Amino acid sequence: MIGSVSAVAAGSSGCHIFSGCGFPSPSLESFDFKPIFSIGSFHFTKPILLVLIGMVAVIAFFWSAFAKPQLVPRGMQNLGELGLLAVRDQILRPSLGQKGDRFLPYLTSLFFFIYFCNLMEIIPFLQFPPMSRSGFPWALVATVYLTYLYLGFKQQGAWGYIRNMIPSDVPAFVLVILIPIELLRYFVIQPFTLGVRLFANMFAGHLLLLIFTLATWYLASFSIGLLFAATSAIMVLAVFLLELLVQLLQAFIFTTLAATYIADSLEGSH
């Protein structure tokens, strides 16, 4: 893992410490990729390829699990049921209850797609989280946003939905500031933070891995730098373990909040 990233990144140019070149620090350019091919002005880059791989992986996993379901599960169906029931019992039932089971396919797809895409950050040769290109989280947020707005307006009516956003038993002088804040929250802040949370977590995690991996390569010269390179390698391991936790956590949080927002739309939060 360290070898493939460092060799590509430092251009195998032998740019080490004490050899006169500065640290090739990662920046926004590390997240831009040359297109694999282009059709007109549409550039097919590595993040698009990774997202397509993630989509195929999720479809293949659940197809192989549930194509011919048996009453007593065998083989892949065990794993599929484990995943499905985990999403249902940990994510869906706490917010939506049993009558929200019709959202299980959507929430399961969301959770596993985000988790597979996040895992690509640490899989060798892929090594890039597509969710760190902000367009992909915004697309997922758009599906959640349109879903909970549509359900809210359909379930409670246009005026009822807006009225239920504001709690009823507050004094009038608090309402002056509460109404704009609550409207902003439902229409602007909720989708924004949902998307930015996933994007920023993946961006920062990939940036951390890049910094310590490049530092290990840069510091690895036959001098005292070798000691620092070893320390940097230990930091790579530490950030790797942190990223394992963060990937699962971010997929879980995105799906949980999506379920919570849908539940707020269906029942009226106040």
Partner 1 sequence: MVDLATAANVVAAATTGVHGSTGSIAYGLAAIGPGVGIGLIFGHAIEAMARQPEASGRITQYMWIGFSLAEALALIGIIVPFIFGK
Binding residues for partner 1, rule: CB under 8 A, are 27-28, 90, 94, 193, 196-197, 199-201, 203-204, 249-250, 252-253, 256-257
Q: Write the burial class of residue 20 (CB in 10 Å: 0-12 exposed, 13-18 middle, 19+ buried).
A: exposed
Task: Name the minimum Å distance from CB 200 to partner 1.
Answer: 3
Task: Name the minimum Å distance from CB 256 to partner 1.
Answer: 6
Q: Please, which residues have CB within 8 angstroms of residue 257's CB and are 6 or more apart in sequence?
A: 194
- Of the pair 156, 190, the CB lying nearest partner 1 is at 190
Q: Which of 213, 26, 209 is nearest to 129 (CA)?
A: 209
Task: Name the minimum Å distance from CB 136 to partner 1.
Answer: 15
CA distance 105 to 113: 12
Task: Name the minimum Å distance from CB 197 to partner 1.
Answer: 4
- Of the pair 109, 193, the CB lying nearest partner 1 is at 193
Task: Name the minimum Å distance from CB 128 to partner 1.
Answer: 17
- Of the pair 172, 245, the CB lying nearest partner 1 is at 245
Task: Name the minimum Å distance from CB 182 to partner 1.
Answer: 17
Contact of 141 with 191, CB cutoff 8 Å: yes
- Of the pair 154, 185, the CB lying nearest partner 1 is at 185
Contact of 145 with 263, CB cutoff 8 Å: no
- Of the pair 117, 246, the CB lying nearest partner 1 is at 246
CA distance 17 to 219: 5
Whole-Å CA distances, 60 to 53, 56, 82, 136: 10, 6, 16, 21
Task: Name the minimum Å distance from CB 137 to partner 1.
Answer: 12
- Of the pair 240, 252, the CB lying nearest partner 1 is at 252
Task: Name the minimum Å distance from CB 26 to partner 1.
Answer: 11
- Of the pair 216, 250, the CB lying nearest partner 1 is at 250
CA distance 93 to 250: 19
- Of the pair 115, 199, the CB lying nearest partner 1 is at 199
- Identify the bridge partners of residue 44 per DSSP, sorted by sequence position: 37
CA distance 65 to 81: 8
Q: Which of 177, 174, 179 is nearest to 162 (CA)?
A: 179
What is the 3-state secondary structure of 59-93?
Answer: HHHHHHHHCCCCCCCCCHHHHHHHHHHHHHHHHHH
**Could you give the maximum distance between any two Cα atoms of the chain, in Å?**
72
